[in-house]
Amino acid sequence: MDRTLHDASNAQRILKLTADTMLLIDRNGVCVDIAPYCDAWFLQEDILLGKNIFELLPEYTRERVVPVFQTVLEEQRSISKNFKLVLKGETYYFKCLMHPYDDMVLCQYRDITQRSNVKRKLEHTNRTLREIQKVAQIGQWTYNTNENVFHYLGYTGVLAKEEVQHISFDKYKELIVKEDCHTFMEWCGRNLEGFNTESINYRVRLDGKIFYMTIQTYLREQLPDGSLNIEGYIQNITDTQLRRNDINTLTHAINNAKESIFAAKPDGTVIFANRRFLQNHGIAENRDISRLKIYNVAADLPTQEAWYARCKDATDGGNNKFIAPHPSKINKDILAYECTMYKVTNDEGEDSYWSFAHDISERMRYEAQIKRLNLIMDTTINNLPAGIVVKEINNDFRYIYRNRESYNRDVFNGTSIGMNDFDYYPFIVAEKKRQEDLQVASTGKGMHWTAEGKDRNGNLIILDKRKIRVDGDELSSPIIVSIEWDVTELEMIKRELMSSKEKAEMSDNLKSAFLANMSHEIRTPLNAIVGFSHLIAESDDAEERKTYYNIVNANNERLLTLINEILDLSKIESGTIEFSFGPTNLHHLCKEVYDAHIFRTPQGVSLVYEPSDESMMIETDKNRVFQVISNLIGNAVKFTKEGSISYGYELVDNQIVFHVTDTGTGIEPEKVGRVFERFAKLNQHAQGTGLGLSICKSIVERLGGQISVSSEFGVGTTFKFTLPYKGTGAGKEEVILESEGGAVASMDGDSASMNGDSASSEATQDGDNVKPACILVAEDTDSNFDLLEAILGKKHRLIRAHDGMEAVIMYDEVKPDLILMDIKMPNLDGLEATKIIRELSATVPIIAQSAFAYEQDRKAAQEAGCNDFIAKPIAQDKLKAMIKKWLSTS
């Protein structure tokens, strides 16, 4: 026998014919020998022989080859591994069989690149197929007649999984819905008789759920043992079937809808009509509607041109909602349709027009009946001082009766039927009314309140308002009845009576307090005067008579002071007190005070004048300032037995701040707030009427300042008052005027203007051609607006809104440069009006003006969106500076 393969002389030839390349590598990784030669460029002798092969390998491959190489050396056993090799942008796959060989390793390199690529493509194809199966919910199955068992796998979501599952034929048949089992068995019989590619649909019940399945055979073969092997696919079509069921349900619903529905081609050919449409137009249900033209059927489309015009409206996105009067040629009871029409384009690009029409005949008859009822009710009610509105709760609170406009009592609008509050009022007002209606509708509880407003002439109107819900068997739906009685005259009489009553009670209380105080204060000095006058007449001792005379004289001064204070208070309250303004040197004034009081200061008490800027001049009433400081020092003298009484002034934030500080007994904390009240005597043992501090407060406020007190009981008291710092003028006199609302203005004696500073001169300085700023003033009190007009009118253009609602409307019309917003106003207060305007503009400056000047009032104005706040009575210099500031930044 020829043993060619064992012949050593044939070894080289046989080696060349093998698929493997042999590399002999020493334990350091150096290639000792290579055979046979290979076509691969990287397996050439000149590249590998004598080189460290591991240094030539890419890092990715080297990290995987070296550990295997070392294991072969250490454990002296053969290992076979597949590796990936990336060289010059090309990817190779090779199998490497490593054998221990005399302290070296013999490596067999076998190129498996092509096989690996085919395998990867096959794996990719399989993955793609699996993903498709998952999306389509498809699985595979096989059935052998001898086993009588289904083998299946896949992604149907019903029994099937990626791994092969098994279920007996009888067990699977139990899962099939009973009604579909017969169809399934017939299909199985046809597959046993011969190859059958017919598919069937059936239902499976699993875990209480119904699944729709479709099954088909794609392979049938007979095995050597005579059994049949059948293979096929199965798909879960539950979602598709449910959508089909939904379509059938929708079709059934459309066919039985109360609306009249049809579809037609652009040329008017009818392609669909539901049962209601056929009945309304007298068309038999079995008639071929494809032969009908819609303009020959519908009475509201008399011509083909009319149909084209309606299609054009729907195509152009125009008014696809419309009313079709008398749409049926045969059914005259149908008065009108409320229609909606749409253009629909199918997948083939064919257009059709779908019309949905609702019979509104009953509604029209009902509305006509309501209108007739309204005419009767109007005749009866219009002469009553009441506004009555009736709304349907279930019809968007639309009016079914309305006799007049609440705020314009002489305006009647008979076209309100079918409208609601949003058709009549601004959104904010309508929304408020809607919230009231919703509350009454949901709770069934009526509402009753009184509201103030103004009619179109700006006159005050007071309404007694009620809202009630009415239910009844005769009503098609529940209603809300709103009744507004004009109680302006009654309410004004009531208010006048209440005001008169309060004034009478206050007057009586003040009179009693006044008489009690005057009786005590007059009798005390008179008692001393009468008593010591008798003693003077009876005494022969000259020194004794002098002592008695000094006592009488002191009580005379006290009685005179009392009378003067009463006269001052009377003048202040009546507004007849006179103020004479002129340039005043504060240092000289304070020195005069010092000279007047230094000799009246008790022993042990020092009077200290703390001078400030000796050149400071202000425009004020020197005598009244002297009176205030003197009163405060005189008050301090009463309560200071030792220590000092100091006073002085300083300029702070454009105001002169005066202070009078003593080291006397101080004031108890609970009594500090009453020091400026009339006839308030916190120490019944001290002399005085209790009017001095009240008069000081009135004078300071009339001079444009404020007065305050701080005290620590047992330590001392400090009174402070401020005066506005004004530059002095030459020979000008001012008379302080007070408006009805308490605002303060000044009249210049030379120009007779109400602006304090000459507005005309300011306008001249600013330039004749400068357009005056437009200021919207929201102010419900005429006198307050007149004051603002006097202060600002010569330089700015003022426009007035009488309440918050009018301010919102006028802002949108005139777009002012700045808004002066009063806080307390009827209809809509200033804070709510500001919030609405801020929705329209975030930049327009809004200055709140209010007699409420507490910190919480300023904070509320800021939160509402106001830029600044000025308190009443308004200081005109401060107002002008504030307006100038915000106009310059706007």
pLDDT for 568? 64
The reported pLDDT for the residue numbered 818 is 95
pLDDT value at residue 858: 85
Average pLDDT over residues 166-171: 89
Report pLDDT for 816: 94
| pLDDT recorded at residue 662 | 93
Residue 708's pLDDT is 92
Position 657 scores a pLDDT of 93
pLDDT digit string (tens) for 737-769?
333 333 333 333 333 333 333 333 344 344 445
Cα separation, 384 vs 398, whole angstroms: 23
Reply yes or no on whether the pLDDT at 517 is more than 80: no
Distance CA 19, CA 95 (A): 11
Q: What is the pLDDT of residue 735?
A: 34
Task: Please give the average per-residue pLDDT across 106-110, as a whole number.
Answer: 88
- With cut-offs at 50, 70 and 90, classify the pLDDT of residue 883: very high
User: pLDDT tens-digit profile of 234-264?
Assistant: 888 888 888 777 777 777 778 888 889 999 9
Q: What is the pLDDT of residues 836-846, one digit of tens each?
A: 999 999 999 99
First to last CA, the chain: 117
pLDDT of residue 496: 87
**579 pLDDT exceeds 70?**
yes
Q: CA torsion angle for 884, 885, 887, 890 (degrees, to 10)?
A: 170
Residues 31, 34, 40, 44, Cα dihedral to 10°? 70
pLDDT at 734: 37
pLDDT digits (tens, 9 = 90+) for 437-482: 999 999 989 999 888 887 777 788 888 889 999 987 666 678 999 8
Q: What is the pLDDT of residues 597-652, one digit of tens each?
A: 887 788 889 999 998 888 889 998 888 898 899 889 988 888 898 999 999 999 98
Whether pLDDT at 557 is above 80: no
Listed range (175-189, 377-391, 662-676, 851-865) with the worst mean pLDDT? 377-391
CA distance 873 to 784: 10
Model pLDDT for residues 664-696, shown as the tens digit of each residue: 888 888 888 778 876 555 554 445 556 778 888
In this predicted structure, the answer to whether residue 4 has a pLDDT above a threshold of 60 is: no
Report d(CA 65, CA 109) in Å as an integer: 12
Per-residue pLDDT band at 733 (split at 50, 70, 90): very low
Most confident of 390-399, 520-529, 574-583: 390-399
Task: Tell me the C-alpha to C-alpha distance, in Å, between residue 34 and each of 41, 53, 96, 553.
Answer: 14, 12, 14, 144
- Does residue 655 carry a pLDDT above 70? yes
**pLDDT of 401 strictly over 70:** yes
- pLDDT, tens digit (0-9, with 9 covering 90-100), for 307-361: 998 888 887 655 578 888 988 888 888 999 999 988 888 878 888 999 999 898 8
Region of poorest pLDDT, from 498-507, 546-555, 561-570, 615-624: 561-570
d(CA 369, CA 254): 32
Task: Kindly state the average pLDDT of the residues 25-34.
Answer: 91
Given this model, what pLDDT does residue 317 score? 58
Distance CA 198, CA 828 (A): 79
The two tokens of residue 816 are: 């002012």
Distance between CA atoms of 45 and 38, rounded to whole angstroms? Answer: 9
Of the pLDDT bands very low, low, confident and very high (cuts 50, 70, 90), residue 106 is very high
- Sign (positive/negative) of CA torsion 245, 250, 253, 255? negative
**247-261, 421-435, 865-879 — which one is most confidently predicted on average?**
421-435
Say if residue 660's pLDDT is above 80.
yes
* Residue 742: predicted pLDDT: 35
Burial of 778 (0-12, 13-18, 19+ CB in 10 A): buried
Q: What CA–CA distance (Å, rounded) separates 19 from 7?
A: 20
pLDDT of residue 863: 93
Say whether pLDDT at 547 is over 50: yes
Asked if residue 868 has pLDDT above 90, the reply is: yes
Q: Which of 263-272, 502-511, 606-615 has the lowest average pLDDT?
A: 502-511
* Contact between 720 and 661 (Cβ < 8 Å): no
Query: What proportion of the chain, given as a percentage, has pLDDT over 90?
Result: 22
Angle between helical axes of 804-814 and 830-840 (0-180°, round to 10)? 20
Tell me the C-alpha distance between 276 and 14, whole Å: 93
Residue 803 has pLDDT above 50, yes or no: yes
Indicate the pLDDT class of residue 707, thresholds 50, 70 and 90.
very high
Find the mean pLDDT for residues 186-190: 91
| Cβ-contact 705, 658 below 8 angstroms | no
Reply yes or no on whether the pLDDT at 299 is more than 80: yes
Q: What share of the chain is helix, strand, coil (3-state, %, to 5)?
A: 40, 30, 30
Kindly list the structural domains of the chain, giving each domain's residue range(s) and its CATH number in brackets, ordered by start.
4-111 (3.30.450.20), 127-242 (3.30.450.20), 270-359 (3.30.450), 363-486 (3.30.450.20), 578-724 (3.30.565.10), 739-889 (3.40.50.2300)
Distance separating alpha carbons of residues 706 and 699, to the nearest angstrom: 9
Q: At 88, is the pLDDT very low, low, confident or very high (cuts 50, 70, 90)? A: confident
pLDDT digits (tens, 9 = 90+) for 805-835: 999 999 988 999 999 999 888 888 999 999 9
State mean pLDDT over 219-223.
Answer: 88
Which candidate, 32, 38, 31, 33, places its Cα nearest to that of 55? 31
Please tell me the predicted confidence (pLDDT) of residue 34.
87
Residue 736 pLDDT grade (very low, low, confident, very high; cuts 50, 70, 90):
very low
Reply yes or no on whether the pLDDT at 37 is more than 70: no
Of 115-124, 144-153, 803-812, give the range with the top mean pLDDT: 803-812
Q: pLDDT at residue 161 above 90?
A: no
**pLDDT at residue 643 in the model:** 92
Q: How far is the C-alpha of 179 from the C-alpha of 452, rounded, in Å?
A: 76
Tallying the residues shown for the chain, one arrives at 890
Residue 400 has a pLDDT of 83
Task: Flag whether pLDDT at 410 surpasses 80.
Answer: no
